[in-house]
Structure 1
Amino acid sequence: MSTINPMTPDLQSSAETIVPHAQLHWSEIGAQKRNTRDALIPGAWRIDVEKYASRINVLDVPLVCGVLSPYELDITSNFDAVDLVEKMRSGTFSVEEVTTAFCKRAAIAQQLTNCLTEIFFNEAIDRARLLDQRRKTHPHEVLGPLFGLPISLKDTYQIPGIDASIGLACYTFKPSTTYSSLPKLLLSLGAVLYCKTNVPQTMMTADSHNNIFGRTTNPANRNLTAGGSTGGEGPLIALRGSILGFGTDLAGSIRIPSLCNGIYGFKPSSGLIPFSGQRIPFLPGWESVGIIASAGPLATSCRACIFALESILRACPADLDPGCLRMPWVVQDPANLNTGAGNPLRVAFVADDGFSTPTPPVRRGLRSSVEKLRAAGVEIVDLKLPLVTDMLQLMGDMFALDGSKHLTELLQSSQEPLVPSVEKIGLLTPGPSKTMEEYYSLNKLRYSITEKYTELWRDHNIDAILMAPAPYTAVPLDSWSTASYTAIFNILDYPSLVIPVGHVEHTDMVDDISNALYGDADAQLYQKYTGPEACSGAPICVQVIGKKQDDQAFTRVAAMIDSILTSS
């Protein structure tokens, strides 16, 4: 395990311009913050942004813009996180080479999609050199499991000397003084941290847009949302400016950006990956009484997500974060990792949530996935989810335990206006706080729901659930309006993995609105899909769900499903 000072030299240099808020309008604070960030991109790493301004899909720009050498393109394009750690451990690549390559590619991603909030490339490269030097001078020292791996972070995570502004003027130019538990642990395992990524205003919408950093765009189709709230990680990883990042998921905030950008996103059960010490726009203590949130990885492969979970659990994160479960990683006999011929995998297929009908490309992706699983010998059990109405009502009530007072006060402290996506959802309408009796009633309802779902797993004898992460693919800006396909599994605290299975194709034509099964509200959602031309390049994904705190067994099942669905 690395004992190098985690972030040397002092990262205060990444927040050089400290401004007195009392003297500046929120718009001036945002302009200064963006200028400070942009100045940290070296001139040699800048691209001709105007050259690509008219392009809808910019995924290939890192390959053709000339910033990266062929060697750096190889490092950033052709390996996942597991591969890269092995190559650095073997000495094939130096940590400095890998870190520099990903810093450069992240700089390109930022210029194309506005995905970054904080840049500390120089400090990351300095740390990479220290890791290389330490290895050279102590060749027999045990290397950490994440040795040399560049990892990006959602803006909520705190690192001393760097802002965690979460897109709010009131937190901007106020550098953190302590580490959140997760980045502290990642550094102790040998990782290199080099950037943080954008979030929506309030972190309660699927459009990563705020008054400080502006809007993050989708590199596959810049007319469509990049998702949220871990929205900046989606484009950054899709453009391979990162191959492993960490976000948080309260109602789909890892899984929705994964869907929108066609990457893997894993929401573990709560308490497995450290969550504490983040800057969140809720009152302190909300983690214990509201929706059950998780921290988790976003990556370029399923095995990278599993690798991240295993590395963290083996490090006993409960020794650092008291909110973590003391749940060890159990080494399995390889002979027992696959189901035998007499005990085939049983997967429940959920066609929809009972409120919104999947649009044509999503239905095609689901149908194709089910066909592949059946052809591979997986038993498919058709299933309808119970109590979804109760879960969605519970989610809304839990979000507003304090009547949205704290979040409203944060915005009013700097007189910020709401961005369009936040204004549309209407979650910030002030209301009365819940009484203790009301809160007890909500907890009682949550428990009764979890009891019902425990019976469901037992009665159907299933190993996993398969459904879409949303009824649609990425949608036009400021129009995402449901998180029901993901949020219900936060209520249940189930692990969930998003797997990319394709893209919108020219055959995914709009069909008759009569295909929307659940009334007028469903019809409005169904019409968000306007055809293959408007949604060109949009990824299609499925979501695999497991049982609470059964994450290690779930990852084995999810890996089997992924291998079936992504095989050619």
Structure 2
Amino acid sequence: MLLLLALLGAALLGAALLGAALLSWKRAPARNKIPRAQKHREMALKQMEALAQRLRQQEPDLDPKPILELPLVQLAQKLRDEELSLESVLCSYLEQALKVHQEVNCLTDFLGECEEQLQALKKLKKSERGLLYGIPISLKDPFDCMGHDSTCGIAQFLEKPATKDGVIVKVFKAQGAIPFVKTNIPQTLLSWDCSNPIYGQTLNPLNLKKTSGGSSGGEGALLAERGSILGMGTDTGGSIRIPASFCGVYGLRTTGYRLSYSGVATAIKGKKSVTTVAGPLARDVESLALCLRALLSEDMHWLDPTVPPIPFREEVYSSNRPLRIGYYESDGYTQPSPSMARAVQLTCRLLQDAGHQVIPFSIPHIEYAFEHLYTGGLFADGGATLLQKLEGDIVDPSIKGLVNQLRLPDLLKCFLAWILKYTDPRAGQSFEEVRGVGTPKRLWEQQAAVEVMRAWEDLKGLLELGQQRPGCTCPCLANNDYWWSYPFQPLLSLQEYQQEFIAKWRSLDLDVLLAPSLDPAFCIGYPALAPESASYMGLYNLLNFPVGVVPVTTVTLQDEEELAFYKGYYGDSSDKNFKEGARGSVGLPVAVQCIALPWEEELCLRLMKEVDTLVKNQKAPN
């Protein structure tokens, strides 16, 4: 029997390798497009440098440092009051963005039309100037700008410039902002590293051996070194929050559909159970609030009527009433790094001392939620859409493991899932989830996540493993929250899981929730080797809650020493790679996540502001 299985596995693997060989033969179109795209970027950056020089000639004595150090709110006010010229501000950010790009490779395109927009803004009356009048902003690659590619790091998307600006870009321009660059991303956007075959790897400016995070990694790197003052990213599983955390800036994942997603490119369309959203990154909380005030204007709903006409609620954001704040140090699925746990402890202590109530909270059914609802929802089509987008393309190392996994025949995925559940259960479950749902009927069932019970063979395997895996200290396994209910009970639908989560929230009468952010920044290449670590972030795309990231501390030598004893809850390959990826991070930023219920961005920002103020006051000299 074992010999038969081995032969079957070898045959299927041979078929997969043959398929990979055929795909490599089809890569010629990608090889033709990529050099042209690289040449285009080179020319665009030269145009950017030329504009900076022209603006510099108008003000040869310009000192950009005081401008770059101004917070967004103050810079916007000075521009509206004409205390600073539009030219001086744009010149300062053009020059700085070019410097940052030379160090970390974060830019993909220059939006040359910014010069014409600047001239048009100068003709406006004071009464016509928007909230972001004259503010240079950066945009993640997928945001459509007329005449420019939105590549998603995929060769198939090259040389297909957008025919018009996306809705968010139009609203920014109506508010007086000047989009001036587009920033780098990982191929397909489905990685929290930041590398693609077209534009290469973006580095973390705080430590060049580390990744800037993904998928909004170019934004995080540029903002960290003041090459931009406000940027827009997207978030499918932490793609705004991870780069913000890794680079020490601030980011906000909004509730799905609070901001328009019309005119934002994507590698996977049609998924319903995992919500991808747009959101801002900036250098402080007030900047995020100002950005939302500007975007949540009448223009947003007029341009995209599917966006609810909910303006920014100032009274919620400005309230001073004490908050009831739930918190957890661990999600029960990924053991937090020492710095992650310490960041939550520190923040809880500061909030409690300031008069807020902090209440322990635990995540229900986290293993099932992340593995089945999140991962299964993301790849409900078995990866067919993603693989179609990569036909003829060069696959970047940051997603190569995922792509190879998706390309395997379903029978081999099933075989590997069965084998690995005894040695590397989370990897085995991953093979099970990426098989897809097979039929439209099962797709609808998956989107509602109404599943049949697991097979008796699964139960037998669990019985062999015992009530708890040897050496596993994972809380969700210790109380049998998942492994004993999973084979017997009809599985929770996504809607039921959301309701259960909210019911637990309501039972504690919480206003907001405080949680670890994924930290510290990983070494380049390691995000692909520890995908389960994103459980802290992906959960809230599943729930569709607004979440903000605030840096609160940095990795200490003691954190680094304690990391040497990190085991993880499973002791599997992902846990081991988490430990290796987080090594060598002394001095790097560590953040927390601030979470609110859907449509409560203002309350989320309120908690972010409270945390940020308390942390900064603690650091300020007496």
Q: TM-score range by the shorter chain?
A: 0.7 to 0.9
- State the partner residue of 1:154: 140
- State the partner residue of 2:35: 31
Partner-residue secondary structure (3-state), 2:580: coil
Quick one: which of 308, 317, 331 aligns to 1:325? Answer: 308
Partner-residue secondary structure (3-state), 2:390: helix
Q: How has the CA–CA distance of structure 1 residues 277 and 123 changed in structure 2, closer, same or farther, with 3 Å as cutoff?
A: closer
The one-letter amino acid of 1:439's match is: L
- State the partner residue of 1:190: 176
- State the partner residue of 2:64: 72
Q: How has the CA–CA distance of structure 1 residues 527 and 229 changed in structure 2, closer, same or farther, with 3 Å as cutoff?
A: same
The one-letter amino acid of 2:521's match is: A
- State the partner residue of 1:365: 343
Partner-residue secondary structure (3-state), 2:163: coil
- State the partner residue of 1:124: 114
The one-letter amino acid of 1:478's match is: G
The separation in 2 between residues aligned to 1:68 and 1:172, in whole angstroms, is: 38
Aligned ranges 1:215-294 → 2 under 5 Å: 215-283=201-269, 286=270, 289-294=272-277
Identity of aligned residues (%): 27
Quick one: which of 100, 103, 106 aligns to 2:91? Answer: 100
Partner-residue secondary structure (3-state), 1:196: strand
Q: How has the CA–CA distance of structure 1 residues 417 and 268 changed in structure 2, closer, same or farther, with 3 Å as cutoff?
A: same
Q: How has the CA–CA distance of structure 1 residues 515 and 407 changed in structure 2, closer, same or farther, with 3 Å as cutoff?
A: closer
- The more displaced of 558-567 and 483-492 is 558-567
2:329 paired with 1:338 = no
The separation in 2 between residues aligned to 1:403 and 1:524, in whole angstroms, is: 27
Contact 1:513 1:526 in 2 (8 A): no
Quick one: which of 390, 394, 403 aligns to 1:411? Answer: 390
Q: How has the CA–CA distance of structure 1 residues 437 and 150 changed in structure 2, closer, same or farther, with 3 Å as cutoff?
A: same
Contact 2:131 2:175 in 1 (8 A): yes
Q: CA deviation at 1:329?
A: 2.8
The separation in 2 between residues aligned to 1:36 and 1:437, in whole angstroms, is: 45
Contact 1:463 1:557 in 2 (8 A): no
Q: CA deviation at 1:34?
A: 1.9
2:151 paired with 1:165 = yes
The one-letter amino acid of 1:420's match is: P
The separation in 2 between residues aligned to 1:433 and 1:529, in whole angstroms, is: 33
Q: CA deviation at 1:42?
A: 4.1
Q: How has the CA–CA distance of structure 1 residues 526 and 292 changed in structure 2, closer, same or farther, with 3 Å as cutoff?
A: closer
The separation in 2 between residues aligned to 1:457 and 1:227, in whole angstroms, is: 30
Partner-residue secondary structure (3-state), 1:500: strand
2:431 paired with 1:436 = no
Q: CA deviation at 1:81?
A: 1.8
Quick one: which of 539, 550, 575 aligns to 1:499? Answer: 550
- State the partner residue of 1:90: 81
The one-letter amino acid of 2:106's match is: C
The one-letter amino acid of 1:332's match is: E
Q: How has the CA–CA distance of structure 1 residues 25 and 183 changed in structure 2, closer, same or farther, with 3 Å as cutoff?
A: same
The separation in 1 between residues aligned to 2:356 and 2:314, in whole angstroms, is: 25
- State the partner residue of 1:386: 364
Q: How has the CA–CA distance of structure 1 residues 434 and 548 changed in structure 2, closer, same or farther, with 3 Å as cutoff?
A: farther
Q: How has the CA–CA distance of structure 1 residues 151 and 44 changed in structure 2, closer, same or farther, with 3 Å as cutoff?
A: closer
Partner-residue secondary structure (3-state), 2:286: helix
Q: CA deviation at 1:505?
A: 2.5
Deviation string, structure 1 residues 306-338 (Cα, Å, up to 9, x no partner)? 11112111335222123312223334299x711
What stretches of structure 2 of length at least 5 have no aligned partner? 1-25, 51-58, 409-434, 450-492
Q: CA deviation at 1:507?
A: 3.1
The one-letter amino acid of 2:63's match is: Y
- State the partner residue of 1:54: none
Number of matched pairs = 508
Q: CA deviation at 1:24?
A: 6.0
TM-score of the aligned structures, taking structure 1 as reference length: 0.84
Q: CA deviation at 1:512?
A: 6.9
Deviation string, structure 1 residues 204-259 (Cα, Å, up to 9, x no partner)? 11111011001111000011111111111010100111110001111111001101
Partner-residue secondary structure (3-state), 2:44: coil
Contact 1:106 1:240 in 2 (8 A): yes
Contact 2:437 2:443 in 1 (8 A): no
Quick one: which of 579, 591, 605 aligns to 1:527? Answer: 579
Contact 2:107 2:181 in 1 (8 A): yes
Partner-residue secondary structure (3-state), 1:304: helix
The separation in 2 between residues aligned to 1:81 and 1:260, in whole angstroms, is: 21
- State the partner residue of 1:447: 495
Partner-residue secondary structure (3-state), 1:117: strand
Root-mean-square deviation (Å): 2.5
Q: CA deviation at 1:41?
A: 3.0
Structure with bigger gyration radius: 2
Contact 1:529 1:535 in 2 (8 A): no
2:102 paired with 1:111 = yes
TM-score of the aligned structures, taking structure 2 as reference length: 0.77
Contact 2:316 2:606 in 1 (8 A): no
What stretches of structure 1 of length at least 5 have no aligned partner? 1-21, 47-66
The separation in 2 between residues aligned to 1:394 and 1:116, in whole angstroms, is: 34
2:407 paired with 1:395 = no
